[in-house]
Structure 1
Amino acid sequence: MQRYVLTGTPGSGKTSILQCLEEIGCHTVNEAATTVIAQAQALGESEPWSRASFIDDIVALQRRRQLETSGTIQVFDRSPVCTHALTTYLGWPVSAALSDELERVTSERIYEQQVLFVRNLGFVQPTAARRISFQDSLTFEKIHEESYRLFGYDLVDIPAGDLAHRVAQVRSVIGT
């Protein structure tokens, strides 16, 4: 089983790439943080990222999705290493749940060594879950790079460009 991580700054086009991969039959897993935010906002919580349990909610959903996903080749929109980057960006300490999950995914080599790093498009389109400026997204992108390198992953750049070309680049790495 091969599990690839697709990562990058908010608004870089990860979801669009993932949707294209799904259309051609790849097993894909959506970003957990977006789901956690959407569920909390549906219950009336406008900024769930401001509460301490936010990170642990993401970690729990990431783990559950990783354990439940089947298929020979799987592509994940983010991983616990991204959650580490988010924690760093927010200036919060790494929680016990995140630390344990990082240890598990590292020691068990859950994800492939090569991480597909989708580069920014030069802008960020705000959404209900994405309220980051373009300048802040560049800082967040750098923190993601640092986190993945810290945990020993190799970054495969997926530069800005048209969607078809980016999908082809990802497919060349994952072998579909």
Structure 2
Amino acid sequence: MRRFILTGAPGAGKTTVARLLAEAGHTVIAEAATDLIETAQAAGEDAPWERGDFCEQIAALQRDRQLAANALAGPVQFFDRSPVCTLAMARFTEQPVGPVLSAELDRISADGIYDQRVLMLDLLGFITPTAVRRVDLAEARRFEQHHVEAYLQHGFTIERVPAADPATRAARITDLTAKAAHA
């Protein structure tokens, strides 16, 4: 089984493209951070990402979801973000890298969990603010650079997925990973 990471800055369209991949029958593992933020906000916490343990919670949920995904069928899985994205978030928000995130980064590296080619969706040139996404375009570009640096530091190669409509991007990702399905 091959596991591909979908990454990019907030507002790059990852989740929309991931949804299209899932609708096409691919196994897609949802983004942990967004789910944690939405749950916290529903409980009345406006900005859970400001908590010092937030990246630790993301890393733990990413680990749990990746391990649960081992039981899912299919030759290819797509993960909407990974622990390397969580490292980028920790650096961007100046949060500490705690023991859970550190251990998860070590585990995914030692065990070769993810394909070394990460699929980075380029920014679309605009940001649509949401309750979860509160960055402007300049901040998103800085956040994207933290992702690039973190992935390169951890030995990944970055396959850029240019800005386009979601269906075109989903087709590009399917083409880029098609050979992995037969490997």
TM above 0.5: yes
* Residues 96-140 of structure 1: CA deviation (Å, up to 9, x unaligned): 111000000011000001100000000111111100111100000
Q: Which residue of 1 aligns with 2:96?
A: 93
Cα contact 2:16–2:166 (8 A) shared by 1:
yes
What is the aligned partner in structure 1 of residue 85 from structure 2? 82
Structure 2: gaps of 5 or more residues: none
Per the TM alignment, residue 164 of structure 1 is displaced from its structure 2 partner at its CA by: 2.0
Tell me what 1:2 maps to: 2
The answer to whether the 8 A contact 2:18-2:80 is kept is: yes
Query: Aligned letter for 1:62?
Result: Q
Name the CA distance, whole Å, in 1 between partners of 2:38 and 2:170: 26
Residue 65 in 1 paired to residue 41 in 2? no
Are 1:110 and 2:113 an aligned pair? yes
Q: Distance in 2 between matches of 1:34 and 1:163?
A: 19
1:157 corresponds, among 137, 157, 160, to 160
Q: d(CA) in 1 for partners of 2:168 and 2:132?
A: 27
CA RMSD of aligned residues (A): 0.9
SS at match of 1:117: strand
Q: Structure 1 segments of 4 or more deviating over 4 A? A: none
Secondary structure of 1:75's match?
A: strand
SS at match of 1:157: strand
- Opposite residue 103 of structure 1, the aligned amino acid is D
Calculate the TM-score normalised by the size of structure 1.
0.97
Q: Per-residue displacement from partner, 1:69-103 (whole Å, max 9, x unpaired)? A: 11221000000000000000011221111100000
C-alpha separation between the residues in 2 aligned to 1:163 and 1:40? 29
Letter in 1 for 2:76: I
Percent of matched pairs sharing the same residue? 44
User: Within 1, Cα distance between the matches of 2:145 and 2:29?
Assistant: 23
- AA partner of residue 84 (structure 2): V
Segments of structure 1 that go 5 or more residues without pairing to the other structure are: none
Q: 1:134 aligns with which of 133, 137, 141?
A: 137
Aligned positions, number: 176
What secondary structure is seen at the aligned counterpart in 1 of 2:79? strand
